[in-house]
Amino acid sequence: MKEYSHIHLSLPRFFTGDEFYRVYFYEDTLVFVKLGGQFHHENLLEQAGLFGAILFYIPYKIARRRQEKREAYVDAVLVKKGMKALLKERKSFQLKQSEIKKMIFRTNWKTQIFSNYDKHLHIFKKDGTSLKAGISYGQSKNYVLNKLSKKGYLVEEENE
């Protein structure tokens, strides 16, 4: 079995829950495979405070159980059928390295107030669109930076 290096990113959504992705480094492509949603790590539960923790404890446990099943399924598909099978799934997508103009880590007061994540990776594409991803709990910014730079992705840092 070939092992693929990966990181985890969360794509914040305004009207629906965030989407939690495992991002594989596959050839010259970033492959985003959805694993779960809003309740992907226990720190999110702790961040909600005492009232939030009480309110969201049961949904968190249900979501974690679902996510664990999804992770096992993704691992099995990767072993049996490969990366191309994962790319065919509905919530999966890819970004080729040639499509990416630049990547910037941003930390500012707005992200710390209006977001569940205090560190964001902004991916600017050559077609003028962009993708904003939160660094998922359980990973440090340096870990993500190292993985991206080892795979040839240039990442800048910007503080506002």
Q: Sign of dihedral through CA atoms 21, 4, 98, 152? A: positive
At 136 the pLDDT is 73
Tell me the whole-structure pTM to 2 decimals.
Answer: 0.80
At 113 the pLDDT is 45
Q: How far apart are CA 11 and CA 17, in angstroms?
A: 9
The amino acid at residue 67 is: Q
Q: What is the mean pLDDT of the chain?
A: 79
Cα-atom radius of gyration of the chain, to the nearest Å? 16
What is the per-residue pLDDT across 79-100, written as a single tens digit (0 to 9) for each? 899 899 989 988 899 999 999 9
CATH fold of the domain at 6-159:
PH-domain like (2.30.29)
Long-range contacts of 43-49 (CB under 8 A, 24+ apart): 43/137, 43/138, 44/116, 44/137, 47/116
Q: How far apart are CA 105 and CA 145, in angstroms?
A: 9
Residue the block writes with tokens 């405070």: 49
